[in-house]
Amino acid sequence: MQGKQQIFLLFVLLSGLCFIYNNTPQDHGWILKCSSCISNQTYGAPKASFWQKRKSHSIKRLPELPVYEATNTTEASQHINRIGVYTVVSGGYEVTLRTSAAALEVPCYVVSDDASLAIGGWRHIPLARFYGAGDLPTQNRFATWLQRFIKICPHFIPVLREFDVLLYIDGNIEMKPAAFQKLKMDHSELISVVHGERLSVREELHVVKSRFPSCRVDNIEKLYNSSDFDADAFGLTQTNVLWRLKPASPRMRALSELWLSTLKLGPCWRDQTGFDYAAWKVGMRVKRFLQKKRESLPERLRIRVDPDQTPLGFKYHGHSGKN
């Protein structure tokens, strides 16, 4: 009887130690997977190896994302066509937003730790709601990862998932009303733009390797090589403009969550390395406009683009904040 008690006490002790180990904060190396943002089982992203799982214990866990509610929970549904626009700015990456929200005449939201960006019709969603109290840490590119997380998975914000159509734009994009109208007239499920310099996902991976050493793409490239995904096919989507129909639908959420889990496989915060794979994997066609006029493109890109592709008509500015 005494032996059984000793075994029981040992089991309780070991369970307690495991709990403490798994919940001890360590660092902000990359953004954590959260329980509702994993699509490995459904859409085929590779499961983490034993050593990858062990490594994940050393990463500081983000708190559960609290629910953000709009001051008027019906504000999205009151607008005709239920179209919304959002951008995400963290860590001082932008100090001004280039798009005039008032000119677009739809609800526009900026998710940011900087409330001063909410001018000219932009509505502020405090980023602090998604990482806890205090200033946003910028070491180890945590600010960048948090920006990617909200950009890729807007369905975590209830006011955003109310919309039937959701447009994401980078803070340095000036979305002209005419370009916005062109998007509104299109009925495609997913719309973005062709990258203005790189020809393929493979080329993007090579550029990331050389220019961004903190990004690791080897595991991502292995995933592409082991699947039927053609990373050498012409066309790289530049996700600084992304139009999503039914952003909170199971299909669109599956794309978003697979996109994020692919990046975390690196980990690599350069999000366009994983977008086209995720769209291909869930079977979603991406309609891509040109970023600028055909004659302004590099020759090697100009001779490859589809003659039917036209410029969307937005303006690209340099980043106004720190990198």
Q: What percentage of the chain has pLDDT greater than the value 90?
A: 44
What is the average per-residue pLDDT within 281-292?
Answer: 89
Q: How far is the C-alpha of 237 from the C-alpha of 240, rounded, in Å?
A: 9
Q: 8, exposed or middle or buried, with CB in 10 Å at 0-12, 13-18, 19+?
A: exposed
How many helices (DSSP H) and strands (DSSP E) are in the chain?
12, 9
Instruction: Please report whether residue 9 resides in a domain.
Output: no
**What is the pLDDT confidence band of residue 301, given thresholds at 50, 70 and 90?**
low
pLDDT in tens, 14-33: 666 555 544 443 333 333 33
Q: What pLDDT is stored for residue 215 in this prediction?
A: 87
Mean pLDDT value across residues 135-149? 67
* Average pLDDT score, the chain: 76
Q: Is residue 85 part of a domain?
A: yes
Say if residue 125's pLDDT is above 80: yes
Q: Would you state the pLDDT for residue 79? A: 41
- What is the CB-side half-sphere exposure of residue 217 using CA atoms within 13 A? 24
**Of 298, 284, 292, 285, residue with least CA distance to 310:** 292
Is the residue at 60 inside a domain? no
Higher pLDDT, 81 or 232: 232
Q: Which of 14-28, 136-150, 186-200, 244-258 has the highest mean pLDDT?
A: 244-258
| 178 in any annotated domain | yes
Establish if 5 belongs to a structural domain.
no
Is 213 part of any domain?
yes
Position 94 in a domain: yes
For residues 51-77, average pLDDT: 36
pLDDT tens figures, 210-249: 999 888 899 999 999 999 999 998 889 999 999 999 999 9
Q: Taking residues 106-131, what's their average pLDDT?
A: 89
4 in any annotated domain: no
Determine the average pLDDT of the residues in 199-214: 92
pTM, two decimals, is 0.74
Q: How many domains does the chain have?
A: 1
Domain span including residue 161: 65-316
Residue 253 has pLDDT above 80, yes or no: yes
Give the pLDDT score at 128.
72
SS3 247: coil
* Per-residue model confidence (pLDDT) at position 214: 83
- The per-residue b/e assignment along 280-308, b for 16 or more CB within 10 angstroms, e otherwise, is bbbeeebebbbbbeeeebeeebeeeeeee
CATH number at residue 297: 3.90.550
